[in-house]
Copies of this chain bind each other. A is one copy, B any other.
Amino acid sequence: MAPSFVQNGGFAAPRAATTSVTGRFASVYSDVQSSRVNHALPLPSVLKKPFTIVDGPQSSAAGNPDEIAKLFPNLFGQPSAALVPSDDSNAALPDQKLKIGVVLSGGQAPGGHNVISGIFDYLQDRAKGSTLYGFRGGPAGIMKGKYVELTSDYIYPYRNQGGFDMICSGRDKIETPDQFKQAQETSQKLDLDGLVVIGGDDSNTNACLLAENFRSNNLKTRVIGCPKTIDGDLKSKEVPTSFGFDTACKIYAEMIGNVMVDARSTGKYYHFVRLMGRAASHITLECALQTHPNITIIGEEVAAKKLTLKNVTDYIVDVISKRAEDNYNYGVILIPEGLIDFIPEVQHLIAELNEILANDIVDEDGLWKKKLTDQSLELFDFLPEAIQEQLMLERDPHGNVQVAKIETEKMLIQMAETELEKRKQEGKYNGDFKGQSHFFGYEGRCGLPTNFDATYCYALGYGAGALLHSGKTGLISSVANLSAPVEEWVVGGTALTSLMDVERRHGKFKPVIKKAMVELEGAPFKKFASLRDEWALKNSYISPGPIQFSGPGSDAISHTLRLELEAEA
């Protein structure tokens, strides 16, 4: 049934059967891509036999349950759902043909295609004759009614492949009454029984709003979310991890490990590596646990300790100086992309700059600087010239300073350089400092999913199919017990409202799924904190090497997940 894949040493293996369908997917595969397409995915035992769905107790909210109850009158308090084996044929789900839609929302994460494959296979296995529609280009595809029917031939070449290119994604949101109306129209036009929203915290909040909206308008369309983000900041007790985190971290860790071996071999460079992850530092922490760098900055710790940029620089420079005493004039330093967002004084400076730049003339003599508060002026003068210029010149369309564009790793190199030079003058440092900067970002978002992400996503999708089939709405597909063998994984759904709190915006309460930040009392951070002093001075580097799909380490789960699950147990 499936098109065959001719392998000829990595070169041009034509895939006529599928290119005509998708129109844009690669007509050629590498050996590894081919082998992954044909890789069979294991399912948790519960999904391999007849199962029934058992509801748990009523749920509440992560915060402000009263407000959440008002915002979700139909959905608030829903129980979690668990799939359990069942021999009772009366408990079996109805023999029904379903019409289901699926949408990818937000940034890419390895494994998205497998969620879709999981939904599709569920429908094939358990609700024969069902139809699966893929909305194109994210939520905009729902609103504009842009979709494609996903068939076996269509989906096949994307199995276990990275990227979101099967139906692509987008960052639009369904927010206004008009947009909800459009979504309703599309659902009705396609006669949808269900919709799976694959996305991060915002997209899952949106999925819940959509579920509530459909329910309150008596639409039959049910909505199930799936936890996606390489940043790893969408998780809870029931949703142990977001997909993509595992693969992205392992790709970054491969590169970091290589750079470490290079640093040790060359003996003359400090590599400053900035890692993707703006809001939370999970990626940086996980990569540190995988590779043992000399210095790791965790944004949440910087914020909790109210550190200044000078504090961070001093910490880096202290380690570098101490290492120089041991004749180690090299090292590896990990920095989260969002570092400066965690530093309160930088936020103040930027707010003041935005104000000044909007209302005042910036004179060349620097008189404008007098409008800065003392603290902000001190910080501004502490910044390297290139960063000062960047702050003054690069603006977004609203005229605001573009914090995201600041290359934090280069900034820290310059600041370390200046400080070390000062210490050298004072006779407190006798080393030789050369910084090299790296940003590992896009390389990690679209890699081939690891065995873990491939299997996890498939189970998430398969489970989402089951939840929709059983009439559930407003849940997020959740697969747990992940440190056990796949057979023993637990499959179910968690009330999205139970993950929510409210934020006050423009005088109104808005529901939000709070981003899961790095917990300073959590097991992963504590493990890191207990080892970092040793890593700082000794060279305990680990080089994880390239992701393997078979053999040693190929089924390992992330340190973060493992440590969190161990701590829970």
Contacts and interface: CB of A to CB of B under 8 A. Distances in A.
A258 B552 contact: no
Contact of A264 (B24, B255, B547): B24
A178 to B, nearest CB: 25
A7 B443 contact: no
A92 interface: no
Contact of A27 (B35, B254, B540): B540
A217 interface: no
A548 B271 CA distance: 26
B32 A545 contact: yes
Interface string A444-470: 111110000000000000000000000
A268 to B, nearest CB: 10
A543 interface: yes
Interface in A525-553: 538-553
Of the four ranges (under 10, 10 to 19, 20 to 34, 35 or more), the interface on chain A belongs to 35 or more
Nearest to A248: B258
Chain B CB within 10 A, most for which of A32, A169, A540, A559: A32
A406 to B, nearest CB: 15
B267 A168 contact: yes
A551 B552 contact: no
Contact of A549 (B10, B24, B290, B551): B551
A185 interface: no
A292 interface: yes
Contacts of A448: 543, 545-546
A23 to B, nearest CB: 10
A397 interface: no
A253 to B, nearest CB: 9
Contacts of A442: 258-259, 262, 271, 436, 438
Interface of A: 7, 9-11, 24, 26-36, 108, 161-165, 168-169, 251, 254-255, 257-259, 261-262, 264-267, 271, 290, 292, 436, 438, 442-448, 538-553, 556, 559, 562
